[in-house]
Structures are given as C-alpha cells and as structure tokens.
Amino acid sequence: MKHLVGKVITKKYSFMDDEVEVRKLSVSEVFKVQELVKKTNKKTDEASQLALLRDVIRLAVVGANELSDEDFDQFPLGELSNLSNNVLSFSGLSGEEAGN
C-alpha cells in the first residue's frame, strides 16, 4: 500500500460548457478545507463565502491555483458554486459522490 502514497486521483467535471480536471483532496487537504469552513461560518459576509469557494477550487482544480481573485470574479457564481460542490463531493465531504 505504501506505493500508493501521494498518488493523485482526478476526475473531469463540466464547467461553463467545458471541462476542468479535479484532484481528489488528500486527508490533510480535507482538514484544511474543514478549517476554512469553520472560519467562514463565523463570518456572515458574502466576501468570506466567495473566498471559501476560491480556496476550495484552487486546492483541487488543476491549474486554478494560477487564477487571481479578479479572474474568479469573471466566472458566474452558480458555476463556481457547482464546481466547489463537485470538488467536495468527489473528496468525500458530502453524502454522495458528485457526477454519478
């Protein structure tokens, strides 16, 4: 099993009538997301919620770490929200795996 340490599992998801590749988050990345969610839940402003979407997408979507906040602001909010939900589901942070 040790040979599987660090192996990256990916899946393609639809985003804005195209496809993006999503990495399944590791245990440490899941913990990081959970901490981000806890911090965001203490705040009620929309900017914090959007920052959480950006952080989740940057962690998991291949190439998204290169996007600036201004780049993210050019995407429709619903598309970002759906992608973030797919990331979380794919990584085991919701009831069902997305895309099934």
Residue 97 predicted with pLDDT over 60: no
The amino acid at 51: A
Place of tokens 């990345």: 29
Q: Judge whether 96 lies within some domain.
A: no
Q: Which of the pair, 41 or 14, is modelled with greater confidence?
A: 14
Residue 8 pLDDT > 60 = yes
Rounded to two decimals, the pTM is 0.83
Q: Is the residue at 99 inside a domain?
A: no
Q: What is the pLDDT of residues 16-62, one digit of tens each?
A: 999 999 999 999 999 998 898 888 888 877 888 899 999 999 999 99
Host domain of residue 55: 2-90
Is the pLDDT reported for residue 78 higher than 70? yes
- Other CB atoms within a 10 A radius of the CB of residue 63 amount to 9
Angle between helix 77-90 and helix 46-60 axes, rounded to 10 deg: 50
Instruction: Tell me what pLDDT residue 38 has.
Output: 87
pLDDT at 100: 41
> How many structural domains are present in the chain?
1
Any domain includes 56: yes
Residue 76 has pLDDT above 70, yes or no: yes
Distance of CA 70 to the CA centre of its chain: 17
